[in-house]
A = this chain, B = another copy of it.
Amino acid sequence: MSLKLTILGCHSATPRVNANPTSQFLQIKNHHFLIDCGEGTQVQLRKNKIKFSKINHIFISHLHGDHMFGLIGLISSFRLLNREKELHIYGPKGLKDIITLRLKLSDSWTHYKLIFHELTSNSSELIFESKSVEVYTIPLDHRIYTNGFLFKEKQGERQLDMNAIKNEPEIDICDYQNLKNGKDFIKEDGSVILNTSVTKDPKPIISYAYCSDTKYTESIIPIIENVDCLYHESTFLKDRTDLAEKTKHATSEQAAMIASKAKVKQLLLGHYSGRYKSKAPFLEEAKVYFQNSILAEEGQTYEIK
């Protein structure tokens, strides 16, 4: 299995020509999640040929504009496109007030159901769960209340070892689900076929952690440990560690330190400040601490295996 992550925007602060504020589109199992929604996100969705109707869940990290000024526009466009499916929005307390005040004053209530899941906890919590996927918050340390999000597949069923099963004539196709659930098989003579002798471990689960915006904080390590891919903001290079500290952002070096300490498989850098002309130094600085670092680029889709 794999996750697919499309970067719609990976720049900080003000939108510029060819530099969009944060938004990501994540495909995990049969779910499609939008993560943050800076101004211009709906045009980025169109440019990347992502159907609006796929989006049923939007996760907003915090209420700074470069992470959510595009949300009201997207909600309104859903309305104009005659959306009927309900839309779930997860984000800090206050988000509902912001959106509903606008809808009220423009007399543009949605015909579809808009369901806000407002977040206030400072501990990691499960905020979305389906048969196959879970989403947890990752409390971050930024200037205002901010959460990252951990997306992970649920542990699947055990896998049948068909070679072993065909040597056990008493096992019928009707027994497969019990075996997948981990149960042993009891033969007619009362003897036991151990589950592990006819099944294999479930497929490994895949996980993705989104951490933006945040200063360097090791408190997130227990939550993101061993994820397959970590997106960690790297607003600055190490030359402006002072500014990162002051604005509660991180440098690419710090992002790589977190990646290394959390033993993640891959680090995706982003949320670049507009002050830097080239992104190459972000990668160079990160690789010193964490070799498997890559740069987020707008319009790129990353397959996480």
Binding site for B on A (CB under 8 A): 13-17, 39-40, 42-43, 46-47, 62-65, 69-70, 72-73, 76-77, 80-81, 92, 94-95, 97-98, 101-102, 105-108, 143-144
Residues in B with CB closer than 8 Å to A101 are 97-98, 101
Q: Tell whether, in the assembled complex, residue A42 and residue B65 are in contact, meaning their CB atoms are under 8 Å apart.
A: no
Q: Tell whether, in the assembled complex, residue A65 and residue B108 are in contact, meaning their CB atoms are under 8 Å apart.
A: yes
- Closest B residue to A144 using CB positions: B107
Q: A98-B101, A102-B98 are in contact. Are A65 and B72 (CB under 8 A)?
A: yes
Between-chain CB contacts (< 8 Å), 17 pairs: A13-B77, A13-B80, A14-B76, A14-B80, A15-B42, A15-B43, A39-B73, A40-B43, A65-B72, A65-B102, A92-B105, A97-B101, A98-B102, A101-B101, A106-B144, A107-B143, A107-B144
Q: Tell whether, in the assembled complex, residue A14 and residue B77 are in contact, meaning their CB atoms are under 8 Å apart.
A: yes
Q: Tell whether, in the assembled complex, residue A65 and residue B73 are in contact, meaning their CB atoms are under 8 Å apart.
A: yes
Residues in B with CB closer than 8 Å to A65 are 72-73, 76, 102, 106, 108
Distance in angstroms between the alpha carbons of A81 and B16 in the assembled complex: 13
- Closest B residue to A76 using CB positions: B65
Residues in B with CB closer than 8 Å to A98 are 101-102, 105
Residues in B with CB closer than 8 Å to A108 are 64-65
**Shortest Cβ distance from residue A140 to the other chain B in the assembled complex, whole angstroms:** 15
- Closest B residue to A274 using CB positions: B80
**Shortest Cβ distance from residue A99 to the other chain B in the assembled complex, whole angstroms:** 10
Distance in angstroms between the alpha carbons of A72 and B70 in the assembled complex: 10
**Shortest Cβ distance from residue A267 to the other chain B in the assembled complex, whole angstroms:** 27
**Shortest Cβ distance from residue A91 to the other chain B in the assembled complex, whole angstroms:** 11
The 8 Å CB contact of A16, one of B16, B39, B46, B70, is B46
Residues in B with CB closer than 8 Å to A62 are 106
- Closest B residue to A52 using CB positions: B14
Distance in angstroms between the alpha carbons of A255 and B102 in the assembled complex: 29
**Shortest Cβ distance from residue A77 to the other chain B in the assembled complex, whole angstroms:** 4
